[in-house]
Amino acid sequence: MRDIWLDNAVSSTNFARESYMKKISLIILLFFVFYTSYSQQLLQVGFNQSFDLAWFSIVTNQSILVRISGDGTIIEAGTEESALYNKNYFAQNLRPYQGSIAYYDGRSDSASGGKIKNIGTCYFTYYPANDYPERAGKIKSAGSLFFDYYRHYEDVLIAGRIKNIGSNTIAYFASLDNDGLQGKLKTVGNTPIAYYSSFDDPLLRGKLKSIGSYHFEWNLVFTGRETIANLKSGYQRQLINGVTYVLQ
């Protein structure tokens, strides 16, 4: 009877241990899925002084910002540096990342040779040389974030530009749109971007009118020599639908 009791106790202990290990394994698996799914994301969109797209900025799981041009080239990586006395203003360039950065040697594919392989723990892959010309050698993935690009048959004007960053579809004003808007950023995900067109005041043409529900207001100021348009209200950075839009 004592032996039976011991056997049952051992069986119960083994069952409890197996159950505990299964729970731990499930937690680790769920953590891994969450980590890889959300470790990289589109964080910022930057405009130059002509209000054309300057860069997209993704953030890695190590909080490193990676700025990528509209045609899928890594521009810089690092962290933002705000002004000492005004936290709403930031340096134009990032403070360079000082950690591990490795490069492809090109032995596996000529299109990726010399390109960045990883920035910290964020690894990059590139479309191979034998892919469509509009994609060959451009970023295919940044960690769990996948990229795609417009093809020539869609519109020659925007061919080779980024079409998707993860779940965010990127659209541009195309060849048949208003002359003053052609090639400019039109939507990021579900956020529309509007500009003053050639039908508006010449001093406002091409300038940002709205991003999503946020509207930009401009003042026409006479300097004594000429009339210029200055931003009337709002900071140079606006967080809209989870993405920060930066005016440089």
- Residue range 91-150, pLDDT digits in tens: 899 999 999 999 999 787 888 999 999 999 999 999 999 999 999 999 999 999 999 999
Confidence of residue 234 (pLDDT cuts 50, 70, 90): low
As given in the structure block, the two tokens for residue 48 are 């130059």
Alpha helices, H only, the chain: 2-38
What pLDDT is recorded for position 45?
Answer: 98
pTM of the model: 0.81
User: 168-172 and 162-165: which strand pairing?
Assistant: antiparallel
End-to-end Cα, the chain, rounded Å: 82
Output the CA–CA distances (angstroms, integers) from residue 214 to 48, 54, 235, 237, in the order listed: 19, 20, 11, 11
Question: What number of CA atoms fall less than 13 Å from residue 11's CA on the CB side?
Answer: 6
Amino acid at 136: A
Bridge partners (DSSP) listed for residue 237? 246
Domain limits, the chain: 39-247
By C-alpha distance, which of 112, 168, 119 is closest to 140? 112
pLDDT tens for 159-199 read 999 999 999 999 999 999 988 899 999 999 999 999 998 88
**Contact between 153 and 163 (Cβ < 8 Å):** no
pLDDT tens column, 61-100? 999 999 999 999 999 999 998 876 666 678 899 999 999 9
List C-alpha distances in Å: 158 to 32, 165, 180, 185. 37, 16, 15, 10
